A and B are shown apart, each in its own frame.
Chain A
């Protein structure tokens, strides 16, 4: 579709406004419930996505041939603004759309793009990431899950962990080692693995806030066809790099594939404005200043994501700059947790009767304070990227560089 035939953002916005008002349920403003089993939330997200698809508002920035609308980020932003008062399938944003589908769009073959992106846009399938392993997440390229050739296909063995919402997913993008005779970055291949395939065992891991969003997976002789390979055999690092870029972009707020604003309801996070409302301390100037600080940081994080993604697009900044909004987002979330805790004050320690109440929820949110600076690669890694790839500072020494992986000393 050429620009001249593309619907204008304003016209799209007006159509969206009318459609949303008629078809989408209003958003529930109440702070999210603490739930350990959120299966119904996933069901709900799929239904909402199916609704968006039926109404012609799904996959706004995905190409038409893969089930999307082939429109621009500006259209998506307009839709996100319009959809703010409504419930949206936010659970599908990350990792399904913003990370996994975006990576497939860049690196997948025609069939993978058509089938997997199409199914996700229709609300039929959910995707997840199998990257981190028990032996280490920051050193992603040092992973030891292996895929060995078997005729035309592959056999997968190993273990993954910290995979967000894998229990709800249908497919995982799984990075595995396929060649042990070359250096660590060169022997990797990315696979699309069905989460329910024979040989996959999945456990849910309980987190500090009681949530069971994390999973660990064990792969025992999981058989994969040749068509499971995403990108090139041995080219897994290229695919993973793209995936990590999309992940940073999503966390920093610059992804064009995110529809709707804010966190899924299953994240029990109390924001400073909610804490102010609940605390009854809205007139305390100390509280007001803290609120102002929160409003500043969240707005600046948004503005920076916007600026940096424009700059990366126009070549003004290198792709490594996506680490900048990633860091700011982590800072804004962390500081938000700190401020919410301080605003809640003495009420953070005890609940309302036997329930945790808003004060307790603030404390529970605070328990997970670091998640935004670990998930999606730690902020230490982002700082390495900025200093080494943007500022050109010397890289950290690495004894495993350019050594065949089978000779690399692992662990102690």
Chain B
């Protein structure tokens, strides 16, 4: 967490906490199996009223951030949702908004879509992954062929978050003029969506097939060949993921520390054994480092600074990997109870596995760092 939140940010944080506590206890999340939707539109609309889809949208497009620093506000929200491993399309909606806002003024405006998303009346998600492929947003296999003043889309996307609940899909595609993104209604003909298994109980993902799906030129987001927009979307996704995971780690670490004081073995609390104390010290250190790098990344993305690309990759590479180390250590220090379904730890571990996997694995981001270092 940022060391000092402004009063407005505290309010944003408290209102989010209130809404989450009402609806989503960890017990309810533990029960989320099967195909039913993880969240209701009503609930998301309430969140939107509290600003969950407005932070990174400028006021002239109907948005607004409480602190004037929307990316940091978004990170505050992501922490709240992460702390409760909450469901909801915070990441997909904000990532799409990041793209629409960045593209605004280049190509079709999408002002009405932005407004509906900000109000929580519409849901959008980013369709960027393709089956069997790692993070390669600039090299999509899905094609968009120009036809009749519009485009025809053919190909398959998967790992699309909330695909079945989304109204709009932001699709990366290959065009003769370079990579482009299209805002496609999920209900368009030629679009088929099917459920995908997901490790995180409160999240859902889908596979989306495009079979000769037609869109008009107004569906374009920005202009073909403009990769700065995809980069911006990635940056927002990583900030949300890392902030979410920081909060997950805070909770898991607090639970585990408490456990170390309460659990006795050989007549002493676990917390009195140096071998374990040292592991707690390491975890505490990595936790602080996760917060430090996440906040540095959020600040850089907020400021649109030239090192934002580097700093989000640093954050994802570190948080993505270290989160798993910390959480598995939390499981280990709990002993057998740590691997039971009834215990809360796995809910946190599930979210961390998901967040490290998507939008570039730690390994992908390390390769990106080497590229950025031009060595």
Which residues from chain A sit less than 8 Å from chain B, CB to CB?
273, 276-277, 282, 285, 288-293, 295-297, 299-301, 303-304, 306-308, 310-311, 314, 316, 321, 323-324, 327-328, 380, 382-388, 390-391, 393-394, 396
Q: Are B280 and A295 in contact (CB under 8 A)?
A: no
Contact with A along B288-320 (1 / 0, CB 8 A): 110111011000000000000011011001100
Which residues from chain B sit less than 8 Å from chain A, CB to CB?
3-4, 257, 260-261, 268-269, 271-272, 274, 277-278, 280-282, 284-285, 288-289, 291-293, 295-296, 310-311, 313-314, 317-318, 363, 365-371, 373, 375
Partner of A310, one of B3, B285, B317: B3
Give chain B residues whose Cβ lies under 8 Å from the Cβ of A391. 257, 271, 277, 280-281, 284
Give chain A residues whose Cβ lies under 8 Å from the Cβ of B288. 304, 307-308, 321, 324
Give chain A residues whose Cβ lies under 8 Å from the Cβ of B310. 299
Give chain A residues whose Cβ lies under 8 Å from the Cβ of B284. 324, 386-387, 390-391
Looking at the assembled complex, report how far the CB atom of A3 sits from the nearest CB atom of chain B, in whole angstroms: 20
A288 vs B310: C-alpha distance when bound (angstroms): 15
Q: Are B317 and A293 in contact (CB under 8 A)?
A: yes
Q: Known: A293-B366, A300-B314, A391-B257. Contact between A328 and B289, CB under 8 A?
A: yes
Give chain A residues whose Cβ lies under 8 Å from the Cβ of B261. 393
Q: State the majority secondary structure of interface residues on B.
A: helix
Q: List 28 A-B contacts (CB under 8 A).
A: A273-B373, A277-B375, A285-B367, A288-B366, A288-B367, A289-B363, A290-B366, A291-B370, A292-B365, A295-B369, A295-B370, A295-B373, A296-B314, A300-B289, A303-B295, A303-B314, A304-B288, A314-B3, A316-B4, A321-B288, A323-B281, A327-B285, A385-B281, A386-B285, A387-B281, A393-B277, A393-B280, A394-B268
Looking at the assembled complex, report how far the CB atom of B288 sits from the nearest CB atom of chain A, in whole angstroms: 5
Q: Are B271 and A393 in contact (CB under 8 A)?
A: yes
Q: Known: A310-B3, A324-B285, A393-B272. Contact between A384 and B277, CB under 8 A?
A: yes
Give chain A residues whose Cβ lies under 8 Å from the Cβ of B269. 394
Looking at the assembled complex, report how far the CB atom of B370 sits from the nearest CB atom of chain A, in whole angstroms: 4
Partner of A327, one of B282, B292, B295, B296: B282
Looking at the assembled complex, report how far the CB atom of A373 sits from the nearest CB atom of chain B, in whole angstroms: 12
Give chain A residues whose Cβ lies under 8 Å from the Cβ of B271. 387, 391, 393-394
Partner of A387, one of B278, B289, B371: B278
Looking at the assembled complex, report how far the CB atom of B19 sits from the nearest CB atom of chain A, in whole angstroms: 27
Give chain A residues whose Cβ lies under 8 Å from the Cβ of B369. 291-292, 295-296
Give chain A residues whose Cβ lies under 8 Å from the Cβ of B257. 391
Q: Are A307 and B375 in contact (CB under 8 A)?
A: no
Give chain A residues whose Cβ lies under 8 Å from the Cβ of B313. 292, 296
Q: Are B370 and A386 in contact (CB under 8 A)?
A: no
A273 vs B373: C-alpha distance when bound (angstroms): 9
Given contacts A289-B367, A292-B370, A296-B314, 17 further A-B contacts (CB under 8 A): A291-B369, A292-B317, A297-B318, A300-B292, A303-B289, A304-B292, A306-B292, A316-B3, A324-B288, A324-B289, A327-B281, A384-B281, A386-B284, A386-B285, A387-B280, A387-B284, A394-B269
A393 vs B282: C-alpha distance when bound (angstroms): 14
Q: Known: A291-B370, A292-B317, A300-B289. Contact between A394 and B281, CB under 8 A?
A: no
In the A-B complex, list the 9 residue pairs whose CB atoms are closest, starting with the nearest: A292-B366, A387-B277, A383-B281, A386-B281, A288-B370, A307-B292, A292-B369, A394-B272, A383-B278
